[in-house]
Structure 1
Amino acid sequence: MPRGKHRRPRTSPLTRGVVAAGTGTAALAIPLLSATAASAATPAQAPAAVSAASQVKSVTYTTVKGDTLYGIADKYDTPGGWQQIYKDNRKAIGDNPRLIHSGLKLTVKTTKTASATATKKSSSVAHATQASAKTYANNLDGWIRQSLDIMAQNGIPGTYDGIYRNIIRESSGNPAAINNWDSNAAAGTPSKGLLQVIDPTFLAYHVPGTSLDPFDPVANITAACKYAAARYGSIDNVFGAY
């Protein structure tokens, strides 16, 4: 704001109803809103709020073999993720969110249209089919390469070297490795598999189309890499216990 001498401006109808808020060295002109003007502004914002709320709706989903709450939440873009589905359906699911029986009728919140959901489902099936069509060696090299293909299809970052380095540190390449002595084990959730993932983390970051067994090499790698991407940006950025 320019400084110097100012002439006192003439009062005009446009400057009435303005109060000066002191700031120490200058005054800011703040218009006073009448009760009528303030109340009139509220309805103008209401349609946007109503529109945002109306985008979230509930659908009924019947579970099938192989379903996980994470996979269902991902399919429907459920606000609050799998935890919200579990909260809304705990009575039907029971105390173990990892154990999902076939035929359950679940109430699922979604922001997707029916056509968008169908498109995402068909895309996921196509990706899984492409990965399964290739042949991979049943060893550490093959597991990493298959995981990298699945990760690429799901937008999960990571390189062969980053995955291999962390596997050797965590399990020495043994897919049946389990840690029964650390704090996770003491809490009842021992670290498992090639990249030593605990069950809650495996469930939360399980990649649809892979096995639900945390000891499965490919499922273990892809879930761990998805977790590492969310927390560290990539498995390549992990150089110690994570």
Structure 2
Amino acid sequence: MRSTITGTARLTTAHKLSAAGLTAAAGAAALAFAVTPGQAAETPSIAVKPVAWTTTDLGAHDHITQQATTTAADAAAAKKKADAAAKAKADKARADQQAASRSQARTPVKPATPAAPAKPAAPVKKAYADNLDGWIKESLDILKSKNIPATYEGIKRNVMRESTGNPRAINDWDVNAANGVPSKGLLQIIDPTFKAYHVEGTSWDPYDPVANITASCNYAADKYGSMDNVNSAY
């Protein structure tokens, strides 16, 4: 005998039938056989009612979905916590290493010795010729630094009259010589006057040409205003 089963069943992979649901569906199914004379060999029709889903079944599905979501969230939270713990551990290890490095004894660094201040360059000494021209020019530079007036012409004119330019000249016949203090040098100055009007920075030797000119000009400036004003014995 050939049997034909007609009917429909609605099944999806998202829902799961419970054993009780299947039993209820089987019990509720009705088999109807319609046999007419001469058709005994026909296959009877079987009607199968669709399975009805209940809210209980849907709730079970939502629970499974929620459980899967919760499990994934818990896994993510656990990973985040593990990562944070690993980072904290690494940070602590690095901090401990740095602290240990700082605590190690070190040889103190000596401060650099400050360089000695550079000595000012010695002024270049002006060169003067060792003759009457050079003696007068050197004396004029000294007189200028001491604010003592004199000119080249006034000095040379009196030198030539007094000693003709001889720095070792001496007068041993005039009144000064008679008094034991002969006139000496280029401008014929006596020892007491030379010592009284000696200019600092020059020699104390009255025969020294620069010292002789400078002291004589200092004396003439005091007595006559300048050596330029002297035109005879002074």
Tell me which interval the TM-score lies in, with the shorter structure as reference length.
0.3 to 0.5
**TM-score normalised to the size of structure 1?**
0.46
Larger Rg: 2
**TM-score normalised to the size of structure 2?**
0.47
